[in-house]
């Protein structure tokens, strides 16, 4: 049975609230992801007829890729029914409501890190792709928000027992394996490590709230977090991760994924034993000289 890590209905409500309020500047992470995905797609010499974009609440990414590259873009997200998302279909990316092979391009933007069944979500993305269709994804992973996790752990341990506050993050090496397990051909997983700087930990937490990205862990401590604890977390954060100018650092790792639905036209690795020369013999070959 798949463990339930995230309260996805709570995430949907918070995402809907963030979408409704749309605080200026709070969508910078969506912009980073959109830039990464649009750049990766631009490097592919292919025109796509029908694309599914999951996790694009502002429509920024859909607008970027639709310009001359894709005929039809279907936007979808994990929201609550009735939310005016500007044409967003309300879906569960762990059980996509589309037929097999419905798209030749599937893009997931900052959605997979909230999947309880990450392998299942990747399998679903593979299922709705037609042969030789492309999957692209970006999710937060690695050491993202490790400073905030440590600050909460330290502050709570001083007062009472600690509770989970920051979601566990997948590692890039594991995600590459999950792409293979989901049946993608030519899988690639890499990451960009960024350091964000804030005036304080309070400013960071305020940004996370405006993004709808505060903790939705099932095992989180229930009830409101008191102002005394928040103040102590901010103090610990400043002490542990403050810079000489008074600002604090926050780590962000954006993991980029790509893979293709298998097709007979794609390159395939050579069969074991089919090489014309043994590696040991090649290493013993004398260096070539030029006249």
pLDDT tens figures, 232-260 = 999 999 999 999 999 999 999 999 999 99
Q: Is the pLDDT of residue 272 over 80?
A: no
8-262: CATH homologous superfamily?
A: Vaccinia Virus protein VP39 (3.40.50.150)
Helix 146-159 with 201-211: angle, nearest 10 deg: 110
The residue among 270 and 56 whose pLDDT is bigger is 56
Q: Which carries the bigger pLDDT value, residue 10 or residue 187?
A: 187
Indicate the DSSP class of residue 193.
E
Q: What is the pLDDT of residue 18?
A: 82
**Could you give the CA distance from residue 76 to residue 73 in angstroms, rounded to a whole number?**
10
Domain locations along the chain: 8-262
CA distance linking residue 159 with residue 197, whole number of Å? 27
Lowest mean per-residue pLDDT among 5-14, 251-260, 274-283: 274-283
Question: How confident is the model over 134-159, as pLDDT tens digits?
Answer: 999 999 999 999 999 999 989 888 76
* pLDDT at 261 exceeding the cut of 60: yes
Segment 49-88, tens digit of pLDDT: 999 999 888 888 888 887 768 999 999 888 766 665 667 8
DSSP H helices in the chain: 8-21, 28-42, 60-66, 118-127, 146-159, 172-181, 201-211, 227-241, 279-284
């Amino acid at each position: 049975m798949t463990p339930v890590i995230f309260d996805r209905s709570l995430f949907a409500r918070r995402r809907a609230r963030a979408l409704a309020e749309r605080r200026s500047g709070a969508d910078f992470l969506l912009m980073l992801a959109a830039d990464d995905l649009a750049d990766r797609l631009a490097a592919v010499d292919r025109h796509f007829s029908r694309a599914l974009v999951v996790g694009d609440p502002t429509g920024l990414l859909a607008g970027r890729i639709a310009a001359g590259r894709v005929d039809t873009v279907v936007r979808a997200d994990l929201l609550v029914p009735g939310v005016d998302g500007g044409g967003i279909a309300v879906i569960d990316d762990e059980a996509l409501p589309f037929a097999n092979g419905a798209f030749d391009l599937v893009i997931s933007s900052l959605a997979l890190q909230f999947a309880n069944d990450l392998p299942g979500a990747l399998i679903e993305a593979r299922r709705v792709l037609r042969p030789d269709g492309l999957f692209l994804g970006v999710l937060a992973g690695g050491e993202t928000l490790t400073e905030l996790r440590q600050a909460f752990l330290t502050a709570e341990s001083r007062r009472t027992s600690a509770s989970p506050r920051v979601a566990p993050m997948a590692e890039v090496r594991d995600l590459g394996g999950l792409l293979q397990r989901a049946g993608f051909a030519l899988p690639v997983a890499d990451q960009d490590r960024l350091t964000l700087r804030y005036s304080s930990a309070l400013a960071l937490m305020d940004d996370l709230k405006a993004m709808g990205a505060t903790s939705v862990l099932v095992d989180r401590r229930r009830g409101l977090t008191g102002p005394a604890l928040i103040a102590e977390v901010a103090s610990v954060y400043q002490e542990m991760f403050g810079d000489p100018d008074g600002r604090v650092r926050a780590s962000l790792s954006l993991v980029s994924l790509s893979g293709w639905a298998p097709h007979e036209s794609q390159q395939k690795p050579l069969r074991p034993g089919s090489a014309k020369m043994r590696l040991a013999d090649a290493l013993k070959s004398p260096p070539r000289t030029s006249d």
